[in-house]
Homo-oligomer: A and B are copies of this chain.
């Protein structure tokens, strides 16, 4: 690596310089088509997710402009579409719901502060190359968390769909609140909501085949099917205006200010920062994990690659820009990125054009949203989030690994019962705890020689040759502090049971590391074996492990030998069984 390259590793890189150089008319056309489709999809989503976060609907539009521009400059994925997403909106509501009344200016200010904190954290993590921290969110925890969040979000929309007032709470109390209010359901609201739900579900499955059957090209049919939510919005808003449903009690979105995203300044209140840093960190990590998974999956399809640490910087910049333009925390969304990819987006310039589309919408279309029933948006959200709910993960992890199943279940139950933040924290704690527990009880097999071969197998499973003078143990785990005592116990037991024992050989083929505690345990084992008149040997020690052991007092004082193969050890120490 040259000096200049070494420097570059620590400087922020600008992927825009990369793809910008080769931009041409062909990529422009592809990007423009993709941008149009994503814009149509993003308008109702932005409004709906902002309301899910407890914010005025226009905030969703604001959060879909500047962040897209920031991502286009810094992002390493060619097709990721950032903006408001369901889970992060829910987490935003959970984080700031205790600090201010939803809808109040303080609430909005807190949402911008959350975006600022999240942006700072993501950028810092990117500069410090801490992207690997997100790896500690295991797939089962993410699955459980996303499913539970989907259910929480769907439950929170029930009150809007039914037109009844219900206190927000955990999943079960929200459902119970809806049940107790069943008598006060507003019929017309429910009718609008159910009709939208049914239509949107049908659009997902049945609309595109129908359009194709009518003779449309599959690409156009797909694009029209994606516009389904826009159709629902137009029709229900039109009906509400024409039939004056508002005076019959259907709640509408109301006045949405027309104009550019405002230039804002988040709150610099230290006490608010202190209270929001923990949720901001969780939002950052969840947003990063969601974004990077989508990005990697899509990049791989074109043999491109994304840089996780660069993605952190890009998401950081997106969130910082959201904080200063009246937005709230954003990340790369799954559905819209897939749409962007399928629609043929070639570069992040598609994101720039999408931002321009949203900007136009917030300048021109907002008056038309006045009569839009809130139930329509609720139906949009429910349809979107129900696709996140996947109980199959419970069955699959149960079949594959009880530890992973426990992590999913704990995350799911705690998220539903206590909320998103405790759910994530408990999920991570359970999965780390179970991993440590598993590695703390390593599989240690006594092995014997398979007659006529040089292979060794577990004495409990196979008919093999052993000698009462020799004990061969194979340790199937790296040795570290949490499991080294298990090895001590195992050897102590074996020695106490075998009066004729003279040699113990540890087969180290699966030991990838030996830490200082395990080294002390090996010293203790050797010392105890010496007291008992038994000699300790090693076999098949890996190169890197041997490099480290070479200069230790343990190896210098070891009376036994280090054999290259276990077979050689047995030939030397117990030739009678070979």
Residues on A lying within 8 angstroms of B by beta carbon are 132, 134-141, 296-297, 299-301, 303-305, 308, 396-397, 399-401, 403-404, 431-432, 435-443, 476-478, 480-486, 488-489, 492-493, 495-496, 509-510, 512-513, 515-517, 519-521, 524, 527-529, 531-532, 542, 544, 548, 551-552
Contacts and interface: CB of A to CB of B under 8 A. Distances in A.
Given A303-B495, A478-B477, A296 B488 contact: yes
Contacts of A399: 551
A519 B393 CA distance: 13
Given A136-B436, A136-B440, A532-B300, A305 B493 contact: yes
Given A136-B482, A139-B481, A401-B515, A303 B532 contact: yes
Contacts of A551: 399
B136 A481 contact: yes
Contacts of A520: 139
Given A300-B492, A440-B132, A552 B305 contact: no
A323 to B, nearest CB: 28
Contact of A401 (B438, B486, B548): B548
A509 B512 contact: no
Contacts of A542: 476, 510
Given A135-B483, A401-B516, A516-B400, A496 B305 contact: yes
22 contacts: A132-B441, A132-B486, A135-B483, A136-B440, A138-B482, A138-B517, A139-B516, A139-B517, A141-B481, A296-B488, A297-B528, A304-B496, A305-B492, A308-B489, A404-B515, A404-B517, A432-B432, A435-B436, A435-B482, A439-B478, A509-B510, A510-B510
Q: Tell me what chain A mostly uses at the interface: helix, strand, loop, or mixed.
A: helix
Contact of A510 (B299, B512, B519): B512
A516 B305 contact: no
Contacts of A482: 132, 135-136, 138, 435
B544 A443 contact: yes
Nearest to A432: B436
A135 B481 contact: yes
Contacts of A516: 138-140, 396-397, 400-401, 404
A300 B531 contact: yes
A510 B488 CA distance: 22
